[in-house]
Amino acid sequence: MKTVPTADEILDRSFRRAARKMREKRNKDRANEEFVRAVSSAVHDRLVQIMQDIPIIEDLSPFYQDMVDILFGIDRFKKSLGAVGWAAKQTRVLGSRMAREVRWSPDTQVKRKQAVARIASVVHQIDEHLRFLNDARNTLRKLPDIREEYTVVVAGYPNVGKSSFIRLVSTAEPEIAEYPFTTREIILGHRKVGRRSIQFVDTPGLLYRPRIGRNAVEQQAINALMHVADLVLYILDPSETCGYSLSDQLSLLEEMKDLVPAPMIVVVNKADELLLTGYSNMSTLTGEGVDAVLQEILTRAAASSTPRPGHSQSEIRL
Ligand SMILES: Nc1nc2c(ncn2[C@@H]2O[C@H](COP(=O)(O)OP(=O)(O)OP(=O)(O)O)[C@@H](O)[C@H]2O)c(=O)[nH]1
Ligand SMILES: [Mg+2]
């Protein structure tokens, strides 16, 4: 997806193109009419090109479709695309009608100026949409590039040690801090296992609350859980030093078990503070127990060989 120009950038470029075309023409009799045609076709072609450069949302993988929806709203995105389409059509229709008017006008110079102003006004009307699409483009190209590898999504309440775990076992270097909601977006890490690579996804912390109440940060975690996980590692902090009760963490766990299609491993972190029987216990602070959890993940990964198709970001030509 290429940079989306502003209205003024489109107009400047189209005027320059039209002017260049005029200079090449020997016959100046119909210069004003030709200029209007040239401007309108340059604007039209540029707008069509913008539409063609923008990925078709339905062609994206579910993860990226949801990402567009979470970050901008699919309706908003489509509305702006629709506006560009409208302007392209308007410019062509107006252009040919006004070019004819210029031809038959007693004062072709004045008529030409009016025609160009009309075209400029159409393009200016969609300036806000062009700017929105460019912002969206800039955000989309920064999204993590989910690879077609066995993918482990690490989830749980805020502040339980998800990022600490990801840092220990993968190439990712997410920020770790003693306050909740440190991680605010999806972060990817990888780990070489023989000739294979396993993908680890760090997610923002989730709270147990109705789905519609979840903000864009939490929705990104849900999106990763729903669409890219081959395995979910759900981390509990029974020490409650994270600031949330174990019972709330367990309620969220039950909700995620119902919601998420991928299999799940539940582990306890901060074992240096408190152990919980019936679970694998680890401490991402001391490193104790971390290797056993990693081995469990690697065993699961080894048992599954088929990569999920269609997650590569290359397909959206960003
Ligand atoms: N005592 C103890 N503290 C830990 C352990 N693991 C992480 N912490 C601390 O817990 C806090 C949160 O760790 P993070 O790794 O940032 O937790 P997170 O789950 O990624 O947090 P969010 O991104 O905010 O959801 C930090 O202050 C860590 O130092 C552990 O095993 N024991
Ligand atoms: Mg984190």
Task: Give the DSSP letter of residue 10.
Answer: H
Q: Which of 153, 154, 157, 159 to mutate to test the pocket of ligand 1 (most atoms within 8 A of CB)?
A: 159
Nearest atom within ligand 1 for CA of residue 284: 31
pLDDT tens per residue across span 112-143 = 999 999 999 999 999 999 999 999 999 999 99
What is the CA(73)–ligand 1 centre distance, in A?
32
178 C-alpha to center of ligand 2: Å?
A: 10
Record the pTM. Answer: 0.88
Q: Is the Cβ–Cβ distance between 166 and 246 less than 8 Å?
A: no
Pocket of ligand 1, beta carbon within 6 A: 158-164, 176-178, 180-183, 204-205, 269-270, 272-273, 283-285
Identity (one letter) of the amino acid at 254? E
At position 181, the amino acid (one-letter code) is: F
> From edge to edge, which strands make up the β-sheet containing 264-268?
187-193, 196-202, 150-156, 231-236, 264-268, 280-281
pLDDT in tens, the chain (318 residues): 789 999 999 999 999 999 998 887 766 668 999 999 999 999 999 999 999 999 899 999 999 999 999 999 999 999 999 999 999 999 999 999 999 999 999 999 999 999 999 999 999 999 999 999 999 999 999 999 999 999 999 999 999 999 999 999 999 999 999 999 999 999 999 999 999 999 999 999 999 988 778 999 999 999 999 999 999 999 999 999 999 999 999 999 999 999 999 999 999 999 999 999 999 999 999 999 999 999 999 999 999 865 554 444 444 444
Please report the domains of the chain, with CATH numbers, ordered by start residue: 7-140 (1.20.120.1190), 150-309 (3.40.50.300)
Atom 21 in ligand 1: residue holding the nearest Cα? 159
Query: From the CA of 283, how far away is ligand 1's center (Å)?
Result: 10
CB contact at 8 A, 175 and 197: no
Tokens of 209: 């609350």
Tens of pLDDT along 133-179? 999 999 999 999 999 999 999 999 999 999 999 999 999 999 999 99
Written as six digits, the tokens of 213 are 């109440």
